[in-house]
Amino acid sequence: MSGSNYDGKGKRIKVLSHPGLPLVGLMFLATLPFGASIKQSVPRVKLSHRELLQAGSVSLFLGPSEGLHSHSLLLDEERGRLLLGARDHVYLLDPDNLVTAARKIYWPAPRDRVEMCKLAGKNANLECANFVRVLHNYNRTHVYACGTGAFHPNCAFIEITGRREDGVFQLLSGTVESGRLKCPFDPLQPFTSVLTDQYLYAGTSSDFLGKDTTFTRSLGPPPDQHYIRTDISEDYWINEARFISAHPIADTYNPDDDKIYFFFREVSWEGNDKSILSRVARVCKNDVGGLRSLTNKWTTFLKARLVCSVPGPDGVDTHFDELQDIFLLPTRDDKNPVVYAVFTTSSSIFRGSAVCVYSMADIRAVFNGPYAHKEGPDHRWVEYEGRIPYPRPGTCPSKTYDPRIKTTKDFPDEVVSFIRFHPLMYRSVYPLTGRPVFTRVRVDYTLTQIVVDRVLAEDGQYEVMFLGTDAGSVLKVVSITQENWSTEEVVLEELQVFQVPTAILSMELSSKQQQLYVGSSEGLAQVSLSRCHLYGQVCAECCLARDPYCAWDGHTCSRYVPASKRRARRQDIKHGDPASQCWDTEDSLGGGRVEERVLFGVQSNSTFLECTPKSQQAQIRWFKQRPGSERREEVRKVHSPPRVHTHRHTRTHIHIHTHTHTHTHTTQTLKQIIFTFLPCLLLHTCSWLSPKVGLDIAFVDFTVLEGLHCFHARSQNRDVSYIRTSKPPKTSQFTSL
C-alpha cells in the first residue's frame, strides 16, 4: 500500500511502502541556535562565482584571451560612460550593461621600447606593454590618459564626444608626451593621481628601478604651469613610498586654503630599526615652491602617521601598518569627508587585514599640533620644542591673512628652512573608535580595495563597506553602532566575483545604478549591490539578514526604497530581531510548514545526513526522537559540512531526529527527516545496474520513489524486498556502499 507526504513546497509526493516495511522509521528534524557564541564576522550568505551567475547578479567583461589586466577605472555617471584602462587598450563601456558591445582604442607601446624592456629582464606579458594606469576627466570632451609604455611611460588626450555608441572616441596622437612623474614605470607598483583645476597631482616613482618616489604636480592651464615635486634628496620627506590615494579637500571657506591630501606607506628608520609605516600628507594647491631654497619643490609639505591597531590586554597593540586602499565617504560638509582605510599586517608570521575610519577633524588637529625633530640619521624622532617661525610652516599663503605673503615665494627663509627639516608631525592620527571597525585574521586572503555606500534604512542610516580581496572575492560588510557606542561588524555577503582567484585591483561604486564595478587582471565585473531574495522566503529570515538594502514587503524579501508614504516594510538592522518585526506573520521562524523528507536505509549500515542552512551565521543542531516519545536527544555531528552520522541500523534502532537552526536566540526547524529501514536481508542490485557492478543501495532519496515499484518475492527460501524501475534515475540520488 502507499503512504502520502508533502515536500517543503507543499507538493504532494508518493511514498511507497509494503506491509513488511514500517513507514515511520527514523525521523530527522532540522532546527538552528543563533547564540552569543556565533561570531558575527561569518558571512550570512556565501556565493560562488557560478551561484552569482545563476542568480543573474553579475556580468563580466573579459576582453582578449590573454587577459584584460584592468588597472584603472573612470566612472562618469553624468555622461553615462565607463572607461577602462587595460593592457594596450582603453575601453568605452556602458555602465548599465557591460555585456553590450564595447568600443576600444588600441594604444600599444612602441616596438623598440618593448624590445628594450625584454632585454632589461622584464616579463614580456606582464610588464613589457602599455598598461593604462591614468584616466581623468580633463573637461567635458577630453580625458587625460597615461600608460606605462613598456617601462617608458607616456600620456595623451582622448577625445570623447557625442553618443557612446557612435560618437567620437579617439586618441589624439598629436598630444602624446612623456609620462615621467605622472605615471609609474612598473604596471604593478602602487600609484595614485588626481586631476583638479587642470593640474595633475601624482605620487609615483621617478626612475626605472622604482626606488626613488615623489609626489608631483604637472600640467595646469598655460601660462600658469608650475611643476612642483617633493625633495628626493631628503629621505625623511618620502622614502621608498607606495602611494595609495590623493584627494583635493578644502580646509576652510577661503579657497587659498585648499589642499591636496594624499595617503601612502613608506620605509621608516628609527635609529637602526627599519619598519613600514602608513602616512597621510598634504600640500597647498597654491604652492609654487621657494624662491632661494626648495625651488620648484613643495614648501608646504607635511606628513603624519596613520595608526590602525587593536589594543591588547597587556597594553601591547597589534598593528596593521601597511596601507592598501583609501575611500573618502562624502558628507553634507565637503570639507569633512569620512576617511575609510584598508590596512594589512607587515609581519610574515601574523597575516591579517583591518579597516579603520578617520575624521578630517582629527587629521587637521595633528597637522596643527607639534612637529617632530631628529638630530641626525641615527637618532629617533622627538617632539620639537624650539621656536616656530611665522607664518606657521605648512600654512597656505593668502593675502587675506597677511598682505605681504601672496605666494610661497614670499615665505621667509626660516620658514622654508624649517619645513625642509621638519616635514613630520610628532603626533599620530588614530581611528575614530580607537580600533578597527572590521578585521580579518587567519583567513586565506587579504583585503586590497574598499568602497563605501551610505544607505538609508527604516531604523537609521548605515555605511555599507564593499571590500575587495586578493582572492577575487568581495565582502559586503556593515558596521553597526550600538547604544553603548560599541561597534558590531556584520558580514552580509561573501561573493566570489571572479572564477579564478586573482587580486582585485580597482573598484568603483554607483549608488545611482546600484552597481559595483570590480576590476582585476582577469577582467571587469559588474555586481548588483543587493540580492535580497537569497536571504529567505519568510519575514524573519529577511529581518535576520540585517541588510540595509533589503526589507520584508509583506510577500518577499526585496529591495528597500525609502519613500515619503510609509508602507508595511519590516526591517531591523540595529538588532536583527524578527520577534519585534514579524510577530504577526504566519511564516516567522519556528512556524509554518516544515520540509519533510523520507529516506530509506539498509539494516546494519551507517548513513551520513547533511544539511546546509541559508545563513552561515547559524548553528546546526541535530536531535533524535523515538516514535511515540516527546523526549528529544541531541546527537553527534560533523561540523564541516554540517552533517550527522547515524549509527549502524537494526530493525529495533528506530528514531525520530530533529535538525534545528539557531540565530540570535531564534530557533527555526528546518527539516524533518523520516528514516525508514528496509527489513530485508539484502537490497538487490537494481535492474538498471549491470549485475557485474554488484553495488547495494545504502539509502534512497524519497524524491526518486515516485514511479518506482516495490516487489516482494521468495529467493532461496528467504524473503527479499527490492526496488525496480524501467527508467534509471540520476546516480547522484543514490549512495552506494
Which residue would you say has higher pLDDT here, 379 or 502? 502
**Least confident interval from 110-124, 404-418, 592-606:** 592-606
Q: How many domains does the chain have?
A: 3
Res 712: pLDDT: 35
Least confident interval from 60-69, 70-79, 264-273, 290-299:
60-69
pLDDT of residue 400: 82
Final residue in a domain of this structure, among 129, 149, 180: 180
Tens-digit pLDDT profile for residues 307-349: 999 988 877 889 999 999 999 999 999 999 999 999 999 877 7
- Cell numbers for 591, please give them: 512556524
Greatest mean pLDDT among 259-263, 484-488, 553-557, 635-639 lies in 259-263
- The answer to whether residues 202 and 237 belong to one domain is yes
Out of 180, 202, 225, a domain closes at: 180
Query: Does 277 score more than 50 pLDDT?
Result: yes
% of residues, the chain, pLDDT over 70:
75
Confidence of residue 710 (pLDDT cuts 50, 70, 90): very low
Set of cell numbers at residue 496:
566570489
Q: Give 402-456 pLDDT, tens digit per residue.
A: 889 999 999 999 999 999 999 999 999 999 989 999 999 989 999 999 999 999 9
148 with 287, same domain? no
For the cut 50, the answer to whether the pLDDT of residue 261 exceeds it is yes
| Band of pLDDT at residue 481, cut at 50, 70 and 90 | confident
Is pLDDT larger for residue 10 or for residue 608? 608
- 244 CB-near residues (< 8 Å, 6+ apart): 190, 192, 262, 263, 264, 265, 323, 324, 325, 326
Same structural domain, 167 and 194 = no
- Rounded to 5 degrees, φ, ψ at 119 are -65, -25
Average pLDDT over residues 482-491: 82
For residue 231, give the nearest of 305, 300, 157 by alpha carbon.
300
Answer yes or no: do 141 and 259 share one domain: no
- Which triple of cell numbers denotes residue 560? 528597500
The pLDDT assigned to 227 comes to 86
Rounded Cα gap, residues 511 and 114, in angstroms? 40
Question: Residues 294, 380: one domain?
Answer: yes
- Burial label for 389, CB within 10 Å (0-12, 13-18, 19+), is middle
Please indicate, yes or no, whether residues 209 and 328 belong to a single structural domain of this protein. Answer: yes
Which pLDDT band, with edges at 50, 70 and 90, does 119 fall under? very high
Task: Give a yes or no: residue 596 inside a domain.
Answer: yes
Same domain, 113 and 16: no
Residue 699 has pLDDT above 70, yes or no: no
The grid cell for 414 is 626660516
Burial classification of residue 623, based on how many CB atoms lie within 10 Å of its CB (0-12 exposed, 13-18 middle, 19 or more buried): buried
* pLDDT of residue 698 exceeding 60: no
Tell me whether strands 709-715 and 199-205 are parallel, antiparallel or unpaired: unpaired
Residue 141 is predicted with a pLDDT of: 95
Three-state secondary structure of 104-118 = EEECCCCHHHHHHHH
Report the chain's mean pLDDT, rounded to a whole number: 81
- Burial zone of 148 (CB within 10 Å; 0-12 exposed, 13-18 middle, 19+ buried): buried
Lowest-confidence segment of 195-204, 353-362, 555-564, 610-619 by average pLDDT = 610-619
Query: What's the pLDDT score for residue 567?
Result: 58
Q: Is residue 542 part of a domain?
A: no
Task: Please say which residue of 414, 442, 470 terminates a domain.
Answer: 442
The three-class DSSP label of residue 674 is strand
Report whether pLDDT(23) > 70.
Answer: no
Residues 157 and 209 in one domain: no
Question: Which residues have CB under 8 Å from 131's CB, separation 6+?
Answer: 69, 71, 85, 86, 87, 147, 148, 187
**The pLDDT of residue 230 is above 90:** yes
In a domain, 270, yes or no: yes
725 part of a folded domain: yes
Q: Say whether pLDDT at 636 is over 50.
A: yes
Average pLDDT (686-714) is 36
DSSP codes of every residue in 293-337: SSTTB-SS-EEEEE--EE--TTS--EE--EEEEEEEE--SSTT--
pTM to 2 decimal places: 0.81
Q: Is the pLDDT of residue 733 over 70?
A: no
**Under the phi-then-psi rule, with left for phi > 0, alpha for psi from -120 to 50, and beta for the rest, what region is 731?**
alpha
Tell me the CATH number at 282: 2.130.10.10
Asked whether residue 15 falls in the same domain as residue 85, the answer is: no
Q: Is residue 54 part of a domain?
A: no
| Residues 149 and 282 reside in one and the same domain | no
Residue 674 φ then ψ, to 5°: -95, 115
- Beta bridge partners, 475, equal 467, 494
Question: Comparing C-alpha atoms, which of 662, 661, 620 is closest to residue 637?
Answer: 620
Task: Identify the band that residue 613 occupies on the pLDDT scale cut at 50, 70 and 90.
Answer: low
More confident residue, 141 or 641: 141
- The stretches of 57-103 forming alpha helices (DSSP H) are none
Same domain, 254 and 346: yes
User: Is residue 371 predicted with pLDDT exceeding 80?
Assistant: yes
- Residue 639's region, left for phi above 0, alpha for psi from -120 to 50, else beta, is alpha
Position 83 scores a pLDDT of 97
Which of the listed ranges 227-241, 300-314, 601-615 does the model predict with the highest average pLDDT? 300-314
**pLDDT at 496 > cutoff 90:** yes
- Mean pLDDT of the 90-107 span: 93
Query: How far apart, in whole angstroms, are the C-alpha atoms of residue 196 and residue 219?
Result: 10
Q: Could you list the residue range(s) of the whole structural domain that residue 724 is in?
A: 2-37+590-736
Q: What is the rounded distance in angstroms from the CA atom of residue 340 to the CA atom of residue 246?
A: 13
| Helix (H), strand (E) at residue 54 | helix 49-54
Distance CA 463, CA 29 (A): 38
Query: How many CA atoms lie less than 13 Å away from 243 in the CB half-sphere?
Result: 29
User: Residue 88: inside a domain, yes or no?
Assistant: yes
Res 566: pLDDT = 52
- pLDDT of res. 200: 97
Q: Per-residue pLDDT averaged across 461-478, rounded?
A: 97
3-state DSSP helix/strand/coil percent for the chain, to nearest 5? 10, 40, 50
- pLDDT at residue 38 above 70? no
pLDDT of 616 = 63
pLDDT over 60 at 696, yes or no: no
Q: What is the CA radius of gyration of the chain?
A: 32
d(CA 281, CA 276): 16
Let me know if residue 432 belongs to a domain: yes
Q: State yes or no: pLDDT of 732 exceeds 70.
A: no
Same domain for 341 and 434?
Answer: yes
Is 258 contained in some domain? yes
